[in-house]
């Protein structure tokens, strides 16, 4: 009952409540984003949604226009503290997760939930082992179990296992715990960036952009 109906009703209520906050953030950050390098305010990315269907996920753009895509060895996106692809305002938005606020629109249109697995890029669909595909039975979330408790500290395989665990244990109580843990993680800036000690190639590519 909760997973199939109540969760969606709560998402709509939270989305309507959060929409004014998104508008306020837009009025403040849209000019800052645009005048940084005269580019689009939003970053619209194709992501894997419920039942494996692709959808467009909205974010405030935090990188310079035409920034190259740099991936780590596990297929996840490079995310370093000194990433030269990220604008000054982008660094602030990422640290505070303000760049994710446009996903309120995704919650309202039903492609995302407040709580659920963070959606992956389309090429990840072929990488999912059968034993973790259960997480495709729930809508992806603005935040989730892996995001709240590990943020960027989990590698690709760990994230998939965490997402599968969430899908098997969806409940109102679990979602409330994730919600408050997310707030604590964001305010504490925990695991904002990935540990790149074993990712020399990704670091090398990022450093090359500085030259």
- State pLDDT tens for residues 49-67: 999 999 999 999 999 998 8
pLDDT value of residue 190: 53
Say if strands 54-60 and 113-115 run parallel, antiparallel, or are unpaired: unpaired
Q: Closest Cα to residue 123, out of 156, 85, 163?
A: 156
Helix, strand or coil, per DSSP, at residue 141: strand
pLDDT value of residue 64: 92
Measured in whole angstroms, how far is the alpha carbon of residue 152 from the centre of its chain? Answer: 10
pLDDT value of residue 153: 64
pLDDT value of residue 185: 80
Helix, strand or coil, per DSSP, at residue 122: helix
Q: At residue 151, what are phi and psi to the nearest 5 degrees?
A: 45, -115
The contacts of residue 116 (CB under 8 Å, 6+ apart) are 138, 139, 140, 141, 142, 144, 166
* Mean of all residue pLDDT scores within the chain: 86
Q: Cα–Cα distance between 41 and 22 in angstroms, integer?
A: 13
Confidence of residue 157 (pLDDT cuts 50, 70, 90): confident
Q: Is the pLDDT of residue 74 over 70?
A: no
Q: At residue 25, what are phi and psi to the nearest 5 degrees?
A: -65, -40
Contact at 8 Å (CB) between 138 and 166? Answer: yes
């Amino acid at each position: 009952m909760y997973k199939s109906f109540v969760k969606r009703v709560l998402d709509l209520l939270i989305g309507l409540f959060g929409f004014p906050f998104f508008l306020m953030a837009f009025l403040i950050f849209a000019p800052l984003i645009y005048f940084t390098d005269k580019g689009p305010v939003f970053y619209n990315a194709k992501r894997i949604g419920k039942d494996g269907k692709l959808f467009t996920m909205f974010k405030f753009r935090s990188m310079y226009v035409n920034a190259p895509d740099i991936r780590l060895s596990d297929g996840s996106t490079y995310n370093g503290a000194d990433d030269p692809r990220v604008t000054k305002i982008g660094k602030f938005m990422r640290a505070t997760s303000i760049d994710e606020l446009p996903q309120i629109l995704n919650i309202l249109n039903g492609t995302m939930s407040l709580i659920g697995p963070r959606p992956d890029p389309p090429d990840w669909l072929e990488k999912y082992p059968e034993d973790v595909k259960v997480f495709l039975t729930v809508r992806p979330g603005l935040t989730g179990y892996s995001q709240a408790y590990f943020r960027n500290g989990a590698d690709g395989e760990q994230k998939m296992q965490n997402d599968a665990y969430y899908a098997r244990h969806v409940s109102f109580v679990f979602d409330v715990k994730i919600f408050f843990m997310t707030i604590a993680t964001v305010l504490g800036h925990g695991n904002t960036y990935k540990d790149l000690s074993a990712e020399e190639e990704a670091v090398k590519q990022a450093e090359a952009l500085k030259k």
